[in-house]
C-alpha cells in the first residue's frame, strides 16, 4: 500500500505518507482533520509533508514530515532514531522498505532493511481508541557477525507551535516536581542511568503551546535506563522521542537475534494537561490486567512498628484497623531472619523463627478473623552482605568478579537474569504466597543499580527484562495476587512495571502537604486507583511537619487510600474520625476510581453521574477573603446537588444546594477562607 493513510480516534489523528522508499513518514500528529477523500489527502500530504532531506540544500517546500526512524540519510542532523555498528562499520543506516506496508484498523506495520549493513527493522504503530499512539521498533541482525546497538528510539514530530516543554524532577520523599522552560533550538533530554525509573524521573515529557492549551507528550514504558527528549534542530522539524538508554556493548546481537524497544506512548491533547491525563487514564483502565473491583482500604504497619515486630502489638493494630474499617493489613519489612534493622537479612526469604516461632500464622489468622486481607513486604532484587544468601552465593551479586559495586543502604543487587537466581526467588516467594494465602505483595526496590555488570558487560537491560519475567511468572502461578511497585517510594513508576503490578507507592513521604503535589503530578500519568495514598502521623516522619487529621484524610482520599500510622496512639475522637473517613472512601471510590480527573479552582474526579472535588489551602494566602469556587468538568445542562462531605465548614445548607453544571463552572459558589493545610471535600450528584 503506497497511498497516504489517516489513523484517527477520539479526536486525535496521525497522517502517514507510505510512499517510501524508506519507512513511513509522519506528516501530522495532533487534531483529527475530519473526513478526507483520496484526492484531498494526497494534496494535503504533498503540501504539508516535505521530506527532511530537502532541508540539506535549503527547502523548496515546508519540511513537515519525518520517518519513523530518522537518520542522517534522511537529512536529519539531530539524535538519530537508530545507531549501532558491526565492528565499527556501517554506523549510518539507509533503511529501505522491504515489502508493502500493512495497514489495519488503527495500526500500521512496516519493515525496512539495509542489506549492506545487515540490519532489518520492523516498526509497529497503533493509535488506540483513546487517541494514544503506541510505537515500538524491532531490530534484527540479518548479517553474518555481531551487530551492536547503541540506540533504537521511538520518535514523532512536533509542530511549530510547540514552543515550551514541561517535565518533572524530584528526590526521595519529594517526587515529581514540575519544571518548565522554552523549547528553543537544541535538545532537552531527560536521561536515567539509575537502573530503575528514578525519583527524579519525569512521568511525561510534555511539549506545548505557550498556554499549554494544546500539548504533546511522551512516556517510555520501561523500568531500566531510559531517555525522553524534545529536540528542535535548525532547518528541520522538531521531535518528541525516547527509548531505552543502553550502555556501551549492552545489547550485542548475533546473527538472527532481535532487540525490541520499550513501547513509546505518545499522546496529544487540545484540552491541556487534563486532556493528556484523560486519554492516558482511559487507555490504562482499558487494559485486561487493570485491577477491577473496589480498591481495598489498606493499613501498612511500617511507620507504626518499623522493625519491631511483636505479635501482641500487631494484633492490637489489626483490631483497631478492623474497627475503623480497614480491608487489607500489610506486614512490612522485618519478618525474616536477622532483620532488626536494614543491615542484614535481605535475601533470606523465610520467616524468622525467633520473632515468629509459630510462623506468621497467628497474625495472619487473626487478621483474617477480623475480615481483612493480608499482605507482605519483599525486596526480592536486593541482598545484604550480612545474609545467608550472600555468604552461600556471592556469585549471585550483580557484579564483575573483583569489582564489587559501591554498597548502598547496606545492600547489593541480585543478578536476577541468572536463571538460578530467578528460580530461587520464584520458589521462595511462591511458597510464602501459598502457605499464607497472601493477597498482596509490597515489592520494594531500595537502591539504584550503579555499575550493574556481569563479567564486565553492562547488565541493566538483562536485569529489567528478568524482573519483568519473574513478576509475570508469579502472576501466572497466583493470578489473584496483587502487587505494589514500591522503590523507596516513587522510584519505579512507569507503564512497564505497571503492566505487571496493581498500584505504585507514590512516595515514602506521608506529609500531606507534599503529598498534595506528589499525587497531583503522579496523576498526570496514572489514574487515582493506581496511586497508593495513606494517612500518616503528625508530625510526618519524613519532614517533621504537623497537619490536622482532617487535612491528612482529605489528601489520602484522592488515591488508593490507606493508613500508615500507629493508630494505637490515637484518641477515641481520632479513631472515630478515621472510621468516618473510611466509610466515606468506600462510598466515593466508585467515582474516584472511574472518573476523569480535572483541575482548576479545585481538583476533582468527574463521572457522568457524579463528581468529587477537593478545595485545599496549601499556603498562607496574601488575600484574606472568602473564595468563590468554580467546579470544572461537569455537564453544562445538567442539574447537580452540591454537598460538603468532609473537612472544614463550608457554610452550605445541611442538604447542600442545587444548580446547573454551567453555573457551577462559570459562576461557582462562595466558601469561607481556609487556614493553611485545611481542605473541604465536595460531593456532587446529578439531581433528577
Tens digits of residue pLDDT in 337-370: 999 999 999 999 999 999 999 999 999 999 999 9
Beta bridge partners of 30: 13
* Among candidate residues 251, 285, 319, the one where a domain is terminated: 285
Question: Rounded to whole angstroms, how far apart are CA atoms 399 and 397?
Answer: 6
Show the cell assigned to 205: 515529557
CATH number at residue 139: 2.70.98.60
Q: At what angle do helices 549-557 and 572-592 cross, to 10 degrees?
A: 20
If you average pLDDT over residues 657-668, what whole number do you get?
Answer: 96
DSSP state letter for 407: P
pTM of the model: 0.96
Of 236, 439, 174, 489, the closest CA to residue 328 belongs to: 439
467 in Cβ contact with 415 (< 8 Å) = no
Residues 484-496 have a mean pLDDT of 97
Concatenating the DSSP letter of every residue in 502-555 gives SEEE--S---HHHHHHHHHHHTTTS-GGGEEEEE--SS-TTT-----HHHHHHH
Looking at the domain assignment, is residue 332 inside a domain?
Answer: yes
Q: Which domain holds residue 398?
A: 298-590
Q: What is the pLDDT at residue 47? A: 84
Same domain for 516 and 444, yes or no, is yes
Cell numbers for 163, please give them. Answer: 514552543
pLDDT band of 51, cuts 50, 70, 90: low
The secondary structure of 548-560 as a DSSP string is -HHHHHHHHHSSE
**What is the predicted pLDDT for the residue at 61?**
36
Give every CB contact of residue 115 below 8 A, 6+ residues apart in sequence.
Answer: none
Rounded-to-integer distance, Cα 85 and Cα 119, Å: 10
Does the pLDDT at position 129 exceed 80? yes
Are both 496 and 562 inside the same structural domain? yes
**What pLDDT, on a 0 to 100 scale, did the predictor assign at position 650?**
60
- With a cut of 50, say whether residue 466 has pLDDT above it: yes
For residues 210 and 215, what is the distance between their CA atoms, to the nearest angstrom?
10
Give a yes or no: residue 11 inside a domain: no
β-bridge partners, 658: 641
For the record, the C-alpha cell of 247 comes out as 550502555
CA angle at residue 181 from 179 to 182, to 5 degrees? 160
pLDDT tens, residue by residue, 60-77: 333 468 899 999 998 888
Residues 424 and 494 in one domain: yes
Q: Are residues 228 and 339 in the same domain?
A: no
The three state secondary structure string of 174-192 is EEEEEEEEECCCEEEEEEE
The answer to whether residues 129 and 155 belong to one domain is: yes
SS3 call for 304: helix
Q: Residue 473 phi/psi, 5° resolution?
A: -65, -40
Residue 56 clears pLDDT 50, i.e. is over it: no
Based on the domain organization, do 328 and 259 belong to the same domain? no
Q: Give the burial class of 654: count Cβ atoms within 10 A of its Cβ; 0-12 exposed, 13-18 middle, 19 or more buried.
A: exposed
Q: Where are the alpha helices (DSSP H) in 155-298?
A: 272-285
Q: Which of 134-138, 540-544, 616-620 has the lowest mean pLDDT?
A: 616-620
CA distance 394 to 495: 33
Question: Domain for residue 53, yes or no?
Answer: no
Lowest mean pLDDT of 325-339, 367-381, 667-681, name the range. Answer: 667-681
| Least confident span in 22-31, 49-58, 238-247 | 49-58
- For helices 311-324 and 361-369, give the axis angle rounded to 10 degrees: 20
CATH code at position 321: 3.20.20.70
**Quick check: is 632 in a domain?**
yes
pLDDT of residue 52: 53
Tell me, yes or no, whether 480 and 563 share the same domain. Answer: yes
For residue 54, pLDDT beyond 80: no
Contact 649, 672 (CB under 8 A): yes
Q: Are 208 and 166 in contact (CB under 8 A)?
A: yes
Q: Are residues 524 and 622 in the same domain?
A: no
Q: Which of 590, 615, 632 is the last residue of a domain?
A: 590
The reply to whether 73 falls in a domain is no
Based on the domain organization, do 497 and 521 belong to the same domain?
yes
Catalytic residue among 439, 508, 511, 514: 508
Q: How confident is the prediction for the chain on average, in pLDDT?
A: 94
Calculate mean pLDDT across residues 290-318: 97
Residues 168 and 311 in one domain: no
Q: Do 193 and 313 share a domain, yes or no? A: no
* Confidence tier at 55 by pLDDT (50, 70, 90): very low
User: CB within 8 A of 255, min separation 6: which ones?
Assistant: 141, 142, 143, 144, 145
Give me the CATH number covering residue 648.
2.60.40.1180
Q: How many domains does the chain have?
A: 3
319 counts as catalytic? no
394 located within any domain: yes
Question: For residue 626, what pLDDT band results from cuts at 50, 70 and 90?
Answer: confident
Q: Are residues 567 and 609 in the same domain?
A: no
Instruction: Flag whether 209 is in a domain.
Output: yes
Cis amide linkage into residue 213, ω under 30° from 0: no
Tens of pLDDT, residue by residue over 212-258, are 999 999 999 999 999 999 999 887 889 999 999 999 999 999 999 99
Structure confidence at residue 627 (pLDDT)? 81
The one catalytic residue among 74, 444, 511, 514: 444
pLDDT band at residue 687 using 50, 70 and 90 as cut-offs: confident
Query: Phi/psi of residue 638, each to 5°?
Result: -90, 150
Asked whether residue 520 carries a pLDDT value surpassing 70, the answer given is yes
pLDDT at position 1 = 54
Among 302-311, 544-553, 668-677, whose mean pLDDT is lowest? 668-677
What tens digit of pLDDT does each residue of 443-456 get? 999 999 999 999 99
> What's the pLDDT score for residue 48?
78
pLDDT of residue 334: 97
Q: Residue 573 and residue 553: Cα distance in Å, rounded?
A: 14
Tell me the sheet residues that pair with 188. 230
pLDDT score, position 286: 97
3-state SS string for 155-172? EEEECCCCCEEEEEEEEC
pLDDT, one tens digit per residue, over 379-407 is: 999 999 999 999 999 999 999 999 999 99
pLDDT interval class at 3 (50, 70, 90): confident
Task: Give the span between the Cα atoms of 348 and 345, in whole angstroms.
Answer: 6
444 given a catalytic annotation: yes
Q: Is residue 7 part of a domain?
A: no
Q: 235, 262, 285 — which closes off a domain?
A: 285
Vertex 85, ends 82 and 86: CA angle to 5°? 145
Amino acid at each position: 500500500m503506497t497511498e497516504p493513510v489517516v489513523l484517527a480516534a477520539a479526536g486525535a489523528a496521525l497522517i502517514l505518507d507510505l510512499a517510501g522508499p524508506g519507512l513511513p513518514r509522519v506528516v501530522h500528529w495532533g487534531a483529527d482533520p475530519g473526513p478526507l477523500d483520496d484526492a484531498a489527502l494526497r494534496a494535503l500530504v504533498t503540501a504539508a509533508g516535505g521530506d527532511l532531506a530537502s532541508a540539506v540544500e535549503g527547502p523548496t517546500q515546508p519540511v513537515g514530515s519525518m520517518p519513523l526512524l530518522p537518520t542522517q540519510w534522511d537529512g536529519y542532523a539531530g539524535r538519530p532514531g537508530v545507531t549501532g555498528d558491526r565492528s565499527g562499520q556501517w554506523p549510518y543506516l539507509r533503511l529501505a522498505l522491504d515489502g508493502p506496508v500493512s495497514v489495519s484498523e488503527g495500526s500500521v506495520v512496516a519493515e525496512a532493511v539495509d542489506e549492506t549493513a545487515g540490519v532489518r527493522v520492523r516498526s509497529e504503530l497503533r493509535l488506540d481508541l483513546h487517541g494514544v499512539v503506541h510505537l515500538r521498533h524491532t531490530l534484527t541482525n540479518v548479517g553474518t557477525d555481531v551487530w551492536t546497538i547503541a540506540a533504537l528510539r521511538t520518535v514523532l514530530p512536533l509542530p511549530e507551535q510547540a514552543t515550551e516543554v514541561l517535565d518533572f524532577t524530584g528526590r526521595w520523599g519529594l517526587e515529581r516536581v514540575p519544571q518548565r522552560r522554552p523549547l528553543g533550538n537544541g535538545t532537552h533530554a531527560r536521561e536515567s542511568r539509575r537502573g530503575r525509573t528514578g525519583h527524579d524521573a519525569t512521568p511525561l515529557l510534555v511539549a506545548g503551546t505557550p498556554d499549554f492549551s494544546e500539548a504533546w507528550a511522551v512516556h517510555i514504558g520501561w523500568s531500566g535506563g531510559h531517555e525522553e527528549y524534545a529536540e528542535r534542530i535548525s532547518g528541520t522539524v522538531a521531535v518528541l522521542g525516547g527509548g531505552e538508554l543502553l550502555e556501551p556493548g549492552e545489547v550485542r546481537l548475533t546473527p538472527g537475534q532481535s532487540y525490541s524497544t520499550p513501547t513509546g506512548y505518545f499522546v496529544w491533547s487540545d484540552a491541556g494537561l487534563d486532556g493528556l491525563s484523560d486519554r492516558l487514564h482511559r487507555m490504562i483502565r482499558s487494559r485486561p490486567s487493570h485491577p477491577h473491583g473496589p480498591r481495598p482500604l489498606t493499613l501498612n504497619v511500617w511507620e507504626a512498628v518499623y522493625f519491631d515486630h511483636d505479635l501482641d502489638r500487631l494484633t492490637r493494630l489489626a483490631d483497631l484497623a478492623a474497627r475503623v474499617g480497614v480491608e487489607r493489613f500489610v506486614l512490612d519489612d522485618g519478618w525474616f531472619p536477622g532483620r532488626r534493622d536494614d543491615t542484614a537479612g535481605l535475601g533470606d526469604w523465610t520467616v524468622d523463627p525467633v520473632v515468629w516461632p509459630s510462623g506468621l500464622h497467628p497474625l495472619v489468622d487473626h487478621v483474617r478473623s477480623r475480615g481483612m486481607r493480608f499482605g507482605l513486604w519483599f525486596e526480592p532484587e536486593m541482598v545484604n552482605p550480612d545474609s545467608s544468601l550472600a555468604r552461600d552465593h556471592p556469585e549471585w551479586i550483580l557484579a564483575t568478579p573483583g569489582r564489587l559495586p559501591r554498597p548502598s543502604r547496606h545492600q547489593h543487587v541480585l543478578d536476577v537474569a541468572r536463571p538460578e537466581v530467578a528460580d530461587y526467588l520464584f520458589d521462595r516467594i511462591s511458597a510464602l504466597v501459598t502457605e499464607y494465602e497472601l493477597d498482596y505483595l509490597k515489592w520494594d526496590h531500595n537502591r539504584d543499580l550503579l555499575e550493574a555488570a556481569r563479567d564486565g558487560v553492562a547488565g541493566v537491560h538483562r536485569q529489567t527484562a528478568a524482573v519483568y519475567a519473574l513478576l509475570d511468572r508469579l502472576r501466572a502461578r497466583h493470578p489473584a495476587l496483587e502487587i505494589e511497585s514500591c522503590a523507596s517510594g516513587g522510584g519505579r513508576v512507569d507503564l512497564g512495571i505497571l503492566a505487571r503490578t496493581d498500584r505504585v507507592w507514590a512516595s515514602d513521604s506521608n506529609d500531606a502537604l507534599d503529598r498534595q503535589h506528589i499525587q497531583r503530578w503522579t496523576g498526570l500519568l496514572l489514574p487515582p486507583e493506581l496511586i497508593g495514598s495513606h494517612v500518616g502521623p503528625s508530625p510526618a516522619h519524613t519532614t517533621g511537619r504537623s497537619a490536622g487529621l482532617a487535612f491528612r484524610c482529605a489528601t489520602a482520599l484522592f488515591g488508593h487510600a490507606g493508613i500508615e500510622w500507629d493508630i494505637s496512639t490515637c484518641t477515641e475522637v481520632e479513631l472515630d474520625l478515621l472510621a468516618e473517613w473510611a466509610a466515606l472512601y468506600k462510598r466515593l471510590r466508585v467515582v474516584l476510581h472511574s472518573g476523569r480527573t480535572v483541575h482548576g479552582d479545585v481538583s476533582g474526579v468527574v463521572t457522568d453521574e457524579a463528581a468529587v472535588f477537593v478545595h485545599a489551602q496549601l499556603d498562607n494566602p496574601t488575600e484574606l477573603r472568602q473564595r468563590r469556587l468554580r467546579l470544572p468538568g461537569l455537564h453544562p445542562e445538567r442539574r447537580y446537588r452540591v454537598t460538603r462531605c468532609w473537612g472544614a465548614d463550608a457554610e452550605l445548607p445541611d442538604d447542600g444546594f442545587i444548580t446547573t453544571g454551567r453555573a457551577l463552572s462559570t459562576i461557582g459558589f462562595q466558601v469561607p477562607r481556609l487556614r493553611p493545610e485545611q481542605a473541604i471535600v465536595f460531593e456532587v450528584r446529578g439531581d433528577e
